[in-house]
Amino acid sequence: MLASRHRSLERLRKEKRLFPKGPDGPVHVCLVYPNVYRLGMANLGFQAIYKIFDDDPRVSVERAFLPDADELPAIRAGKEMLRSLERGRPLSEFEILAFSIAFETDYLNVLSILDMAGIPIRRKERLGRGYPLVIAGGSAIFLNPEPIAEFIDLFLIGEGEEMVPEFLVRYLETRANGTVSLPELAKVEGAYLPDYYHPRYDEQGRLTEVVYTGPGNPRVKRRLIRDLDRFATTSLILTEESVFGDMYLVEASRGCQWGCRFCAAGFMYRPIRYRSPENLTAQAIAGLNERRVIGLVGAEMASVPGVAEIAAAVADRGARLSPSSLKADCISVELAEALARGGTQSVTIAPEAGSERMRKVINKNLTEDEILRAAELLTAKGVESLKLYFMVGLPEERDEDVVEIAHLTAKILQRANTNGRKVGRVTISLNPFVPKPWTPFQWDPMEEPGSLKRKIALLKREVSNLKHVELDVESPREAYFQTLLSRGDRRVGNILERLNRERCTGPGEIWQMLRAIKYGDGKNPDGELPDPDFYVLRAYGHDELLPWDFIDHHVHKWFLLSERKKARYEHQTKPCNVLRCTVCGAC
């Protein structure tokens, strides 16, 4: 315990809290980020929820994270215990464990953390035995909580600024009566009590119905904050150990107006909401008291109202704005100038597909000329490096579309090297397509890993002839695991339990175990675990009941299906107009 506690104390010493600590109350909450400290402290949602708990005078809140790799052996061997960061308290001693889950691949870490804390993994094994109430929220939960439904007592689905305080009010009311009542907590709008839902499957393993045994409507309404200006979402605790340790982060928007058919953020956060330019500028300038780089966070930053003026205000003060990603056709001369003047050396743009045809399929609303113009504009103003996001294995994709990624990159290099300037480096970030719930491509399977490897090798050969170009590829095996969790139902929880029991943590170990589950070899002797390919490589029927259908995102399913049909015919849809359009149902 000494080594682990020393690390925690050192981390606390190096942190800078930008808000006053609230008083300690009688309800002890541990807010858990199911990954390592440096990733958790880069997550604005995690920090925002921490402050909500801390501001409540009835709550004492601490944090916990997945142990670092060098800490795991001692904890697994029982020589050390998983404890909170602030006071070194065992997680089993808290009243509430609140998981903030941003990524589906962290679902496995949820089980690992419960296991390392000495807490039974399954919720039914904890019932009435004095263990903490285990709740979970976060963007991964918005989409599909079912793979961990057997391990979490209560989910909070949606944005937490209003929902978490309402949950605390309800919790304290039931607590005052002597026993915390899950049915009472489930009355909070956006709360999902998995014990009310009982899935049924046919002989082929498809979900046929979900028997609901709770009161009222079984649909769970995803919570949404209409006016983001009511809540500032910025860095609240600074630490250089964070992956964005040199930045002060400011959330600019939630959602995206462009409607890319693969993108969960563009649908689950509908309607698109922007913070006002005045507030964003004020928050950025305030952040310059702490850091000289302002990280502007959101799905797409070039279309944020006033973004050029915000970048200019930061540059005027001798600092730099670092936007998360820019849509090429929205990059103005003023924005490019302000970014370069602030010292921005690298900018990320996301063509997503190499060919014009595929950009129509995915509804990118972006032409090759617009991409090339953006590259020329950015480098002409002084940006030295470009990072390009592309995907491979998209629905309707052909080999020639993959080759076009290299051809487009070559054209970008040629255009960027005009006007007497030379681009220093172009990085192609290539990710296999992972189908996400609540998108038009939710019915589509992931492409088979072997086929993806062949396409990646094809692209590598094409790119090898280009100077100053690096290719950064996500493993198809990692994408396979992500898809399993993205599209899985409750039975996938049994797979997670097996992975945790076998101590599978790395991508290679997880892949080998998933193959063992599929093919047998003694790891799945009775066939009690579902075939992972059933969720990953199978096209879901358009009339099929989907595991996440009980969530009400206010987006019509027929609208998503119509968008999928448009993709087949390479038809694009205009970007969202929240003032005039109500077609999808979100507005």
The DSSP element (H or E) to which 62 belongs, if any, is strand 59-65
- In one letter, which amino acid is 432? P
- The pLDDT assigned to 420 comes to 65
Residue 16, H or E segment? strand 16-17
List the alpha helices (DSSP H) in 66-121: 72-76, 107-116
Residue type, 501: R
Q: Is 284 within 8 Å of 250 (Cβ atoms)?
A: yes
Q: Note the pLDDT of residue 527.
A: 62
Q: Rounded to the nearest 10 degrees, what angle do helices 476-487 and 449-463 cross at?
A: 140
- Which pLDDT score is estimated for 78? 78
Percent of the chain scoring above 90 in pLDDT: 87
| 95 contacts 28 by C-beta, under 8 angstroms | yes
Section 338-359 average pLDDT:
94
Q: Is the pLDDT at 9 greater than 70, yes or no?
A: yes
Separation between Cα atoms, residue 162 and residue 142, nearest integer Å? 15
Residue type, 331: I
When mean pLDDT is compared across 90-94, 290-294, 370-374, 376-380, the lowest value belongs to 376-380
Report how far residue 453's alpha carbon sits from residue 397's, in angstroms, rounded to the nearest whole number.
14
Greatest C-alpha distance within the chain = 75
* C-beta separation of 390 from 354 below 8 A: yes
Choose between 63 and 520: higher pLDDT.
63
Nearest Cα neighbor of 220 from 287, 131, 111, 137 is: 137
Report the Cα–Cα distance between both ends of the chain, in Å, rounded.
52
* Per-residue pLDDT at 2: 66
User: Is the pLDDT assigned to residue 573 strictly greater than 60?
Assistant: yes
Q: Stretch 126-146: mean pLDDT, rounded?
A: 95
Q: Looking at the predicted structure, is the pLDDT value of residue 72 above 90? A: no
Reported as a single tens digit per residue, the pLDDT across 236-257 is 999 999 999 999 999 999 999 9
Q: What was the pLDDT predicted at 6?
A: 87
Q: State the Cα–Cα distance between residues 559 and 440, nearest whole angstrom.
A: 8
The pLDDT of residue 138 is 97
- Residue 418: predicted pLDDT: 74
> pLDDT tens, 199-232?
999 999 999 999 999 999 999 999 999 999 999 9
For the chain, the domains span: 1-225+475-553, 246-431+445-469
Question: Three-state secondary structure along 215-252?
Answer: CCCCCEECECCCCHHHCCCECCEECCCCCCCCEEEEEC
User: What are the pLDDT digits (tens) for 13-64?
Assistant: 999 999 999 999 999 999 999 999 999 999 999 999 999 999 999 999 999 9
How confident is the model at residue 522, as a pLDDT?
57
Distances 212 to 134, 218, 219, 531 between C-alpha atoms, Å: 22, 6, 10, 26
- Name beta bridge partners: 471: 428
Average per-residue pLDDT in the chain? 94
Q: What is the pLDDT of residue 523?
A: 60
Instruction: Check pLDDT > 80 for residue 1.
Output: no
Query: pLDDT tens, 259-269?
Result: 999 999 999 99
CATH of 246-431+445-469, one of 3.40.30.10, 3.40.109.10, 3.30.420.40, 3.80.30.20: 3.80.30.20
Give the confidence band of 357 by pLDDT, cuts at 50, 70, 90.
very high
Query: Once rounded to an integer, what is the mean pLDDT over residues 279-306?
Result: 96
> What's residue 576's pLDDT?
87
- Among candidate residues 321, 12, 280, 51, the one with its CA nearest the CA of residue 165: 51
Mean pLDDT in residue range 320-327: 93
Amino acid 430: pLDDT: 97
Give the burial string for 425-441 (b: 16+ CB within 10 Å, else e): ebbbbbbbbbbbbbbbb
> Strand, helix or coil at 429?
strand
Q: Which two tokens stand for residue 355?
A: 């060919």
From residue 189, alpha-carbon distances to 139, 163, 166, 220, 525 in Å are 17, 7, 9, 8, 43
Does residue 381 or residue 171 have the better pLDDT? 171
Q: Of 526, 563, 559, 558, which Cα lies nearest the Cα of 543?
A: 558
> Is the pLDDT confidence value at 427 over 60?
yes
Confidence of residue 76 (pLDDT cuts 50, 70, 90): confident
Predicted confidence at residue 419, as pLDDT, reads: 65
**Percent of the chain's residues with pLDDT above 70:** 98
pLDDT of residue 577: 84
Query: Which residues, in sequence order, are CB contacts of 144 under 8 Å at separation 6+?
Result: 104, 437, 485, 486, 487, 488, 547, 548
* Distance in angstroms (rounded) separating the CA atoms of residues 223 and 401: 39
Are 214 and 196 in contact by the 8 Å Cβ rule? The answer is yes
